[in-house]
Structure formats: C-alpha cells, structure tokens
Chains A and B, each alone.
Chain A
Amino acid sequence: MSYMIHIEHVTKRFGRAAAVDDATLDLGAGESLALWGANGAGKTTLIRCVLGLLGFRGTIRVGGHDVRRDGKAARLLIGYVPQELGFYDDLTVCEAVAFFSRLKGLPHTDTDRTLATVGLLGHERKRIRELSGGMKQRLALAIALLGDPPVLVLDEVTASLDAVGREEFVNLLAGLSGTGRTLLFASHRIEEVAALSGRVAVLEAGRITRVVPCADFVAETDRGTVLHLFLAPSVRDQAMQSLRVGGFSPHLNGVGILVPVTPERKAAPFRLLAEARIPVDDFEIVSATHARRVAHVPHSASSSPGGNAVPHLAATEVSS
C-alpha cells in the first residue's frame, strides 16, 4: 500500500442528504491535495471522516490503518489543524502543548523548539484566551506538528483570520511543503490552493467532480475578476434581482453577493445598485492573479485584498 491516505467509495449521509457522496481519492506520501468547494460542498465532512470523527460507508486508510477499526493508530500519523482552535481557554500555551504531547504518547517534548517553529516563542505562559486568532492557529499548527506526523490535515485553517494573519499562516504552511509530509487540506481560497497544493479535488454537493493538477486549476481560474459585495441581508434578494436584470450572474454566499465581472465592467454593478437605491456596505475585488503572486513571492509583506470567498462557480464561469 503505497498511498498515505486512501479514500474509497466514502459516503456520509446526514439524514437523507449526502454530505459526501461516493468519494474516492488517493494521496501518496509527500503529496499535497486541496479539497476545493463552496460552503456545504462536503470538505469538512470528508476531513472529519478521515479523522474518524464521523461514521461513514466505504473505506478510509491512513498509512494503512483503517480509521474506523484502528483509529488511534491512524490518528497517530495525522497532525490536525481545525478551522479555529477550541480548547480550554485558561490553559497556558505550555500546558496545551504538554497535554497534547502526552495524548500523542511522546516521551518528552522540546516545547521551546516546537513553539519556535511557529513563532510563538516568548508566549509560553500566556493563556489561550489571551492569544490573537493568528497566534491560536499557529499554536494549533505547533500541536499538529508534535511528534512530526507524516500527514497534516488542515480544515479551512485561515477562515477565521484577517488578511495579514492569513498570509502569514499560509507562508508558514508553504514552508512545510516539500518536506515529504503528506498534506490534505480544505480551502475555498485560490491563493492557498495555489501556494500549497499539488492537486486539487473539486467537490460539488458532496461529489468529487474532478481532480486536476494545481497549475491547471489556477490557470483556469485566473481569467477573471469577481466582485464581492457586502450588503445588509434585508436587501440581498432585491440586489440579486437588479443584478440579474442588468446582465450579471450573481451568487449569494454567506456574507454577501459574488458577481463575476469582466475587467472593463467592474463599476457597472455599483451603478445598477445605486439606481435601485440599494446601499452597498463594503466590497472586495477578488483576483486569482493575486493568488499566484502569493505562491511565488511567499515573503511579500504587501497587503493583499484577498476575497472572503470564491466559490468554484465564480472561478470557472468568469470570463476574462
């Protein structure tokens, strides 16, 4: 069995709805794969199946261990970073590291070295609730790296970070690639995918629709611009209506509306909404080009107006 992660015909249903529908994937040792998809596409569910947190039909093996029958051994190979570190708030950084190294059965832990790895040196005595969001995620990464596990599983690890924190974290992760570690991560950020993955598995409503090399995937999505508009919930439907009438193909996401635009028509949606007297609270311009720039210039300190969410629909349907 040469695959590090082997996912075969995995189906997970919540009630009648299939969150993951007959997924099959293989990751070789040292390979890096991104799970790409909108909210609710099944990324997190699939990751939880890999971690053995959910029951499912089908087979998942990590390093040859069946995650259901031999979950402890499988998870021993995995370092996991969640979307947001939820842990005893009043634990100090040091205590958290000690707790998890015991759980991982490590005879002793060089806490300083572990914390230095993620730039948390000097914060050992701080309690978790005193850490910023970015520091929490770095702590989670430090914990995941305890015992140098051969597999890292990341679940939208930057979702709760601001733009600067996100970039720093992705840089940190990028430094880990190419070290022989197998990486499975969920993301809906093109810049992360570009920076970290070798292949991209696209999930749509629980199904893996295709698996493509990262370069192809990024190239595909690099042809357009998406306008991310933030509006009050009460006016969103009205706004969608106006935009459709104006010839755009808008999509709702959790916090706003995504409007694929051609570079020369970036202002048109604003005009339409102004005419309809719909106030726009804020906006972002989401560009795939930027993502590639991050990938190639990892230490760039320049601020990045990264989008909050780019569903794959936006990425694939945009015309340049």
Chain B
Amino acid sequence: MMPNAVHPASAFAAVLVVATAFAGQADHAAPAPVSGGRSTLPLGPIGMRIAAASPGDTLEIDPGIYREHLRIDKPLTIVARGDVVIDGGGSGDIVEIVAPDVTLRGFVIRNTGIDLDKENAAVRVLAPRVALENNRLEDILFGIDLREAPDCRIVGNRIGGKDLDVARRGDGLRLWRSDRTLVERNTIHDGRDAILWYSSNVVVRGNHGFDCRYGLHLMFSDHITILDNEFAGNSVGIYLMYTTGVELVGNTLVGNRGPSGYGIGLKETDQFSIRDNLIAGNRSGVYIDGSPFTAAKPGEFTRNTFAYNDVGCTFLPSARGNEFTENNFVDNIDQVAVAGRGALDANRFWKGERGNFWSDYTGYDLNNDGVGDFVHESQTLFENLMDKRPALRLFLFSPAQQAVEFVGRAIPAVRPEAKFTDEVPLMRPVALPAAVVERKPAREAIALSGIALVGVGGLLIAAARTSRRTS
C-alpha cells in the first residue's frame, strides 16, 4: 500500500512520519490478504438460508448453536431470534461480509482461530454500509475488522478477546480506510487495540474499553469525534497518532497504567480539542509528543480534570502550542512534568482571565473573585529532581521527600526555576461533567474495619487489666 499524504503541509514530514510509524508499529502493517471465498466448505444451516435468500431479504435465525463459517455475499438483514451462537470451532474467520448494506444483529459469534498472520476475525467486512448491532463476540482473535468498508454502523456490540498474551492478541475493532463509520456503545475488552487506520470522519461514542493495550488508537485518521467513552485499566486509554482534527470530549480515562500508562497520548496530532474529560489514576494523565503538529490551531485542553495521576500531564520537549484553561489539576503526584531537559515556555496554562484549578495552590483570594491573588508557580524541588532523575520516584511518600521540599522552600538558592506559571489560578475546581458519578465505597465496611481495630486494641487493654494472680 502507498502511504497517504497524511500531512499535506509537509511531504517530507509525511514520509518521515509513515516511516516512523512502520518502524514502531510493525504489527499494524496493512491487513493480511483475504483468503478467497469459502466455496469449498460445505454450507451449514445458516449458510444454506443465505444461499437461498434474495437480496434485501430479512432472515431470522432460530436459537441454537451453529458450527459454521458464514460468507454473506448479498445485501441481507440477518437477525438472531433468541440465543443464536455461531461457533467458528477455533479456526479461521467466522463471518465474512462481502456485500454492502448487510445488517447482522443479535448473534453470539465465538471461537475464531488464533492465527495472527491471517488475522482470524469474528466478523470481517469488505463492503460499505454494513450494520453490526448488539452482537456478542467471544473468544476471538480479531473482533470486527472493517476493510475499505465506509459508512458502517458498529453499535452495541460486546467484544471479548481470547485469553492470550498481549503480543499474541488481535484488535478487538479495526477500521481500515472505512470513513464515516459510527462506533457506538460497544464494549471491548481483553484485546489489543480498537484502532482506526486511514479512516476519517468517524464518530466513536459511548464505548467502554478495558483490559486492552490501547483503549482507542487513531492512526492517520482525520476529523474524528470521540465522545463520552470510558477507557479504564488499559495500557493506554486513547492514543492519537498522526491525526488531524480530533474532538475528544466527555470521556473518562481511568487507571490506564500499562507500560506506557497514558490516559491520553498525543503523537504528532494536530488541530485537536480535548474538553470535559475525566483523566484520573493513570500513570500519566496526558502525554504530549510533538503536538499540535502545526501552528494551525493551538492544542486545546479545557475543563478536563486531571486527578491522582502519577503525572498529570507530561510534555516532551517537542510539545509546543498547547493551551490549558479551566482544567482541574487535583493531587497528581507530579502535576505537570517535562520529560528530559525541555521547558514549558511554548505552552500556556492560562489565557485572558481563565486559568486552571491547582490543588497545590497555596495562595488565597481576598477579593473573592474566584481567582487567586497570587500567581501559581510550580517550583517544588523534589518534582524538579524527579523530572531530571525519574529513579528518585522511589522516595515518594517518604519523610525524606518532604525534607527535600522543605529545603527547596526554605532556601532560595536551591529553589528550582518555576516550571510554568498560571497568572489567574482558579480558587474552586470547575464542575465535573455530570457523567462522572460519585461511587462511594461501602461506609459499613470502613466502619467495620474500624470497629475490628478498636476491638483488637480494647482486647489488649482488657487483657492487660485482667489480674493474673493465679493461673
């Protein structure tokens, strides 16, 4: 395949970008060639009904377990009535759709082969305008694999990968040159990635991905809308690469702590707007590398909450032109970090009258206008040392760390330069999107453990008070 001119602004850069992409992402090279047809196999019950049907027909399939591989070669609507299981018997693909305007609804499709070279998939789509709705894909290598299949609808499916080592897993969802596809309310777990290749104007909305490598991965896919998804416990929540035009709004990215461990990673991504997301408990909430890629539009980070990440936001030296306004930075161990020896000069943490909320802001607000009276300057000595020597993170949470911080505050000579400043820090956090529901851990459990502990103490005291005159 020929590399597309992803970034027309710079042909040279495009070549470089693609080269890099291939070097680093060998496992994401062009899809394996599709094996030609399955005419040699005997048809199963569903296969025979497909063979007998006319284009435009609706087939309703009775409950049961069907051990067959399907090839849908005419526009049909195929609906499961009740529990219909199509079992691939652990070999090859299971459903292949080669005709446009096919709808497949309500099936359990399970047990593909595990051949990573042939990319065994539960459902492979090779034609436009296909709708896959409310299917459950289990024990599969690849889940839904769209190849040059634009204008599809992937809605309400549940896709669970095989219990394999990450290196041997396939993608739960893959779009290859499938523009204008809708990916909505799917649940994807235990897969490699949910990935978009060269697919533009795709909407990804309300999906839930967990225990994958990348919850959502964009490669060279432009004008993507990513709304109200939740990616938790993946290696990376959302990784944007070589992508222009992204609206990333209202997503929840929690506890993505794999080897990279980003809530959102941006690599040479351009013209993006990241708003109203909850980014918490990741190793690094946001990781910015070479983004925005051009000066066309500043990278926009607005009303996001960065909470309890090891690092709220990591900037590589190549990160320039990002603007952070009205975000909440809450108790990230390191609120903002610069990897390597870069500086944050080229990024801004306030604009006009709008700064951010910093949980470590020490100033106050005498005139009650909601904006701190002092500039927020991030300059803790330990953070500074930690940015230089990440190994020092070993001493986090220890009194020695606080001793270092104290020295940094007390002795101006060793006080590091401010990493960044926010001239108009907010006194109160910006409200979280309504989607974030407070989850209370059982109060009773805490009370019980408290009672248990007090009980132990009480028993000991009682034991001490019992006189042991005689035995």
Residues of chain A touching chain B, judged by Cβ–Cβ distance below 8 Å, are: 94-95, 98, 101-102, 107-109, 111
Contacts and interface: CB of A to CB of B under 8 A. Distances in A.
B39 interface: no
A44 to B, nearest CB: 32
B467 interface: yes
Given A107-B471, A108-B470, 5 more contacts: A98-B467, A98-B469, A98-B470, A101-B469, A107-B470
Contacts of A108: 469-470
A111 B468 CA distance: 13
B43 to A, nearest CB: 90
16 contacts: A94-B469, A95-B467, A98-B467, A98-B468, A98-B469, A98-B470, A101-B469, A102-B468, A102-B471, A107-B470, A107-B471, A108-B469, A108-B470, A109-B469, A109-B470, A111-B469
A95 B464 CA distance: 12
A49 to B, nearest CB: 32
Interface string B448-470: 00000000000000000001111
B374 to A, nearest CB: 55
Contacts of A98: 467-470
Contacts of A107: 470-471
Nearest to B469: A98
A108 B467 CA distance: 13
Contacts of A95: 467
Contacts of B470: 98, 107-109
Contacts of A111: 469
A94 B468 CA distance: 11
A94 B470 CA distance: 12
Q: With a 10 A CB-CB cut-off, give which of B467, B468, B469, B470 has the most chain A CB atoms.
A: B469
A164 to B, nearest CB: 33
A109 B469 CA distance: 8
Contacts of A101: 469
Nearest to A108: B470
A99 to B, nearest CB: 8
A109 B468 CA distance: 12
A111 B470 CA distance: 11
B22 to A, nearest CB: 80
A9 to B, nearest CB: 41
Nearest to A98: B469
A95 B466 CA distance: 11
A64 B470 CA distance: 29
Contacts of B471: 102, 107
A95 B467 CA distance: 8
Nearest to A92: B467
A113 to B, nearest CB: 14
A63 to B, nearest CB: 25
B26 to A, nearest CB: 75
Interface in B16-57: none
Interface in B349-395: none
A179 to B, nearest CB: 26
B52 to A, nearest CB: 95
Nearest first, the 8 closest Cβ-Cβ pairs linking A and B are: A98-B469, A108-B470, A98-B467, A102-B468, A95-B467, A98-B468, A107-B470, A102-B471
A108 B471 CA distance: 8
B218 to A, nearest CB: 74
B219 to A, nearest CB: 76
B265 to A, nearest CB: 65
A101 B467 CA distance: 13
A199 to B, nearest CB: 39
B230 to A, nearest CB: 62
A111 B469 CA distance: 10
A188 B469 CA distance: 37
Nearest to B470: A108
Nearest to A102: B468
A232 to B, nearest CB: 49
Contacts of B469: 94, 98, 101, 108-109, 111
A98 B468 CA distance: 7
Interface in B416-471: 467-471
Nearest to A99: B468
Contacts of B467: 95, 98
B467 to A, nearest CB: 6
B323 to A, nearest CB: 69
Contacts of B468: 98, 102
